[in-house]
Structure 1
Amino acid sequence: MSQPTRRVLTVPNVISFVRLLGVPVFLYLLLVARADVAAAVVLAVGGTSDWIDGYAARRLRQVSRLGEILDPLADRLYIAATLVAFTVRGIVPWQLTAALVARDVLMGVVLLALRRRGYAPPPVHYLGKAATFVLLAAFPLLLAAAAVPAVAMVAGVTGWALAWWGLGLYWIAGGMYAAQAAAALRSTAATDGRR
């Protein structure tokens, strides 16, 4: 795999920028306009484009440092915005939101600890991407279950199965990131102790 470039204007980065613009559009549609079906479409497109930007980066050999920041940022913003909006609208219970937010708070603490010691964030691994993908697949289904009575049963069961699966994967991935960070910090402490 080639090294990330410093290019800004790449196909994957444009996709990530559009994904970021989709967050306020989604929030407007869900919370202000109450256009639930349109909000579900924006959410589904945002989730699908998460896979597309990564595929395009690898396929077109346009992996960039900016993309390595934008992609997870867009993921976190979509997840956070969706959880807050869904909780406000009563689509998901606050306990699910709290569990997902708590994991992101844990990761924030881990990243701060790494940064203080001069480390970059741990590399994204497959399980973390899988957790995000499963959650981003669950959210449009949960919204469809709340908004479209004709599909409520199937969308609800599938959406909740994915949401709980995604929550579990999200925490397992968080634990793996935390373990990687702890190993790096222990290594630094051991090296400092030998000096």
Structure 2
Amino acid sequence: MSVLRELRSLPNMLSVLRLLLVPVFLYLLLSGDHYIWALIVLTFAGATDWLDGQIARKFNQMTKLGQVLDPAADRLYILATIVGLTINGTIPLWLAVVIVSRDVMLLIVYPILATHGYGPLPVHFLGKAGTFALLYALPLLLMADIWPGADFIILPLAWGFTYWGIGLYWWAGFVYVKQVYELIFARARKSL
């Protein structure tokens, strides 16, 4: 299936739309006066993330392009939200560093896979669960800025999802590194 043909599937079009909305979301978040609109865009992105996966599975529209676009959109929303919330002072810098460091670790690992002839690894359940938790935590942290009177309800939920997300996110990262090591090590043993 060609890339253009894959791009025309509804799940991939939704992923592209999410990618195009990342700068819009970041602008709204950083402009200071548009937090509610930023939250609406982020919520829409989360809903389309869920929807594209449902459509892809139900109508057998899973594609290689979708396997790249969907996680890329997730990563970019997480990164954009972290950058925006850190600049706005909503979250501490250490939280941004901890989350982004995991993705930096994987950015180092993926070229190693490519140099040994492997494509991206399939998404692991732990990675999905960690991303899911962070995609709940970050909007909740934004909501706490929008409605400070509800902090006593929102913040415990937000930080609960944050800590679970960080733990699962890093656990999945170590699983991916282990898989890469085993693939390359197994291939090296076979060549001996």
- Range class of TM-score, shorter chain: over 0.9
Q: Is 1:129 the counterpart of 2:128 in the alignment?
A: yes
Q: Is 1:31 the counterpart of 2:22 in the alignment?
A: no
Q: What's the CA shift for 1:94? A: 0.7
Q: Which residue of 2 aligns with 1:42?
A: 41
Give the 5 Å matches for 1:86-101.
Answer: 86-101=85-100
Q: Structure 1: where are the runs of 5+ without partners?
A: none
Q: Structure 2: which amino acid aligns with 1:30?
A: L
Q: Which residue of 2 aligns with 1:115?
A: 114
- Number of aligned residues: 191
Rounded Cα–Cα distance in structure 2 between residues aligned with 1:49 and 1:163: 21
Rounded Cα–Cα distance in structure 2 between residues aligned with 1:167 and 1:134: 8
Rounded Cα–Cα distance in structure 2 between residues aligned with 1:21 and 1:153: 34
Rounded Cα–Cα distance in structure 1 between residues aligned with 2:31 and 2:91: 18
Q: What's the CA shift for 1:34? A: 2.6
- 1:44-70 superposed Cα distances (whole Å, 9 cap, x missing partner): 221232221111100111111211110
Secondary structure of 2:50's match? helix
Q: What's the CA shift for 1:120? A: 1.1
- 1:152-187 superposed Cα distances (whole Å, 9 cap, x missing partner): 221111111101110000000001111111100101
Matched-pair contact (CA < 8 Å) for 1:128–1:173:
yes
Q: Structure 2: which amino acid aligns with 1:43?
A: L
Report the CA distance shift for 1:173/1:63 in structure 2 as closer, same or farther (over 3 A): same
Q: Which residue of 2 aligns with 1:183?
A: 182
Q: Normalization by structure 1: what TM-score?
A: 0.93
Matched-pair contact (CA < 8 Å) for 1:47–1:133:
no
Q: Which residue of 1 aligns with 2:77?
A: 78
Matched-pair contact (CA < 8 Å) for 1:44–1:136:
no
Matched-pair contact (CA < 8 Å) for 1:15–1:49:
yes
Rounded Cα–Cα distance in structure 1 between residues aligned with 2:82 and 2:136: 13
Q: What's the CA shift for 1:4? A: 11
Runs of 4+ in 1 over 4 A off after TM superposition: 3-6
Q: Structure 2: where are the runs of 5+ without partners?
A: none
Matched-pair contact (CA < 8 Å) for 1:8–1:64:
no
Rounded Cα–Cα distance in structure 1 between residues aligned with 2:63 and 2:124: 17
Q: Structure 2: which amino acid aligns with 1:174?
A: G
Q: What's the CA shift for 1:107? A: 0.6
Rounded Cα–Cα distance in structure 2 between residues aligned with 1:115 and 1:172: 22
Rounded Cα–Cα distance in structure 2 between residues aligned with 1:107 and 1:174: 7
Give the 5 Å matches for 1:3-22.
Answer: 7-22=6-21
Percent same amino acid among aligned pairs?
44
Secondary structure of 1:7's match? helix
Matched-pair contact (CA < 8 Å) for 1:141–1:156:
yes
